[in-house]
Structures are given as structure tokens and as C-alpha cells.
């Protein structure tokens, strides 16, 4: 099969609070609490603790992932997938806005190479990316055993902060035989101060529903600010 030329434009999207007005990590944890499959009081406290760290830009990603992925190693995968199906249907899909779907669709219609780049794990985010019609998902990977069950740990480099730069570079090299710098236009949409490293690497950073720190930085740099809701 002849090699397909790389599109001249790249569009990258953060997920939580960028394309969807919720944090899917936090909502998944709350879903497990509602199901009664984790200790409610302890899990809620830890969830709040890590979310506050994230908002402050001080999150220890390895400590967080040990907490967040532990339930995946404690239950059969078929059960987890059933819980996830209900989670996506009842908690995520109703939150998808037409403005966010239209934004993604415009880049796809223009022939851009489109990907969602998120620190949230792949198990949670794959069906959300599918709901946006996005094939390429760069997310934190969940370790599996030979029988396909989850271990409750992550594998590889989490796609968080500078890790997003590395993971995007790996994806482009391995699947598209190119570099980020090869694109005439590269756009990254994000809401979070944690994404400043990757925002600084693209030709067109867009502060999208930005947190106060990112908003101040975007205004000082003359970056566009987009609000989807």
C-alpha cells in the first residue's frame, strides 16, 4: 500500500473541561462510590485531595494513578466494562455539547490529523473519544495481565504535563513517520495550566475554557481564548 502523505495540519484536544465540561477521572471515581464498590468516605476524600492538587498544578501523577487505577485491578474486566458502559451513557454523553462536537468536526472536515491527548486513562476515555468520532487517542495506558485482566497499575509514560509532549512525539513517529515540527499548522486546545508544556510546542495554542492560571498566561502571550459553554 502506498504511503499516505501526512496532513499539513494537526489538531490536538485535551479532554476534561476542554471538550467535556466535567472531569471524567473524578466522575468515574464518584460512579464507583455510587455503586458501592469502593469505600465511600475514604475514596471521596482521596478523590477531592487529588483533584485539588491537579487544579493547583502540583499533582503527583504516580501517586494519583496508584489510587485511581486500583479498582480496575480489583474487579473482573467484564464487570468493569459493564460499569463503564453505564457511566458513559448516564454521566458523560449527556454532557457532550454541540459546540465541542462541531469544533472537532470542523478540523476533521478540513482534513486535519486529529487526536485527543489526555492524562485520563484509556479505559475510561476510549468510548468518549469514540463519541466524538476521534480515532486517535493518546491517554494513560492501563497495564493488563496475559489473560486480559487489569493489574490496577499504569504502564509506560503517563500523558501528563511534559509527558504529553513525549507521547505525542512517539505517536507521530510510530504511526505517521513525522515530527510535530513537520506540520505547517499545529493546534492544541486545553483548559489547564498543566498543559502549558505542550501548548508552548504548537504553532497555535488555544486556551479553551481556561483555568485562571492558563487564562492569565494566554492573555499575556496573546493566545486566543475559546469558551465552548
Active site residue ranges: 14, 16
Bridge partner residues of 155 (DSSP) = 141
Rg of the chain in Å (alpha carbons): 18
Q: Of the candidates 82, 95, 87, which has an alpha carbon nearest to the alpha carbon of residue 21?
A: 95
Distance of CA 195 to the CA centre of its chain: 11
* Cell matching residue 177: 513517520
DSSP 8-state secondary structure symbol assigned to residue 65? H
Strands (E), the chain: 9-13, 113-121, 136-144, 150-155, 185-190, 204-208, 225-226
Q: What would the DSSP string read from start to end of 143-175?
A: EE-TTS-EEEEEES--SSTHHHHHHHHHHHHHH
Amino acid at each position: 500500500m502506498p504511503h499516505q502523505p501526512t496532513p499539513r495540519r494537526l489538531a490536538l484536544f485535551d479532554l476534561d473541561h476542554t471538550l467535556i465540561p466535567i472531569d471524567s477521572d473524578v466522575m468515574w471515581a464518584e460512579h464507583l462510590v455510587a455503586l458501592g464498590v469502593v469505600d465511600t468516605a475514604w475514596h471521596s476524600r482521596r478523590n477531592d485531595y487529588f483533584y485539588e492538587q491537579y487544579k493547583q498544578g502540583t499533582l503527583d501523577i504516580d501517586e494519583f494513578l496508584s489510587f485511581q487505577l486500583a479498582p480496575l485491578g480489583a474487579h473482573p474486566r467484564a464487570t468493569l466494562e459493564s460499569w463503564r458502559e453505564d457511566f458513559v451513557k448516564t454521566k458523560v454523553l449527556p454532557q457532550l455539547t454541540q459546540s465541542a462536537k462541531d469544533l472537532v468536526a470542523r478540523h476533521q472536515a478540513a482534513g486535519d490529523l486529529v487526536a485527543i491527548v489526555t492524562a485520563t486513562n484509556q479505559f475510561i476515555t476510549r468510548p468518549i473519544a469514540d463519541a466524538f468520532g476521534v480515532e486517535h487517542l493518546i491517554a494513560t495506558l492501563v497495564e493488563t495481565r496475559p489473560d486480559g485482566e487489569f493489574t490496577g497499575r499504569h504502564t509506560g509514560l503517563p500523558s501528563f504535563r511534559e509527558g504529553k509532549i513525549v507521547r505525542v512525539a512517539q505517536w507521530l513517529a510510530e504511526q505517521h513517520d513525522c515530527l510535530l515540527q513537520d506540520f505547517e499548522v499545529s493546534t492544541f486546545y486545553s483548559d489547564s495550566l498543566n498543559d502549558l508544556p505542550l501548548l508552548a510546542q504548537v504553532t497555535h495554542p488555544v486556551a479553551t475554557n481556561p483555568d485562571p492560571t492558563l487564562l492569565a498566561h494566554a492573555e499575556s502571550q496573546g493566545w486566543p481564548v475559546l469558551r465552548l459553554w
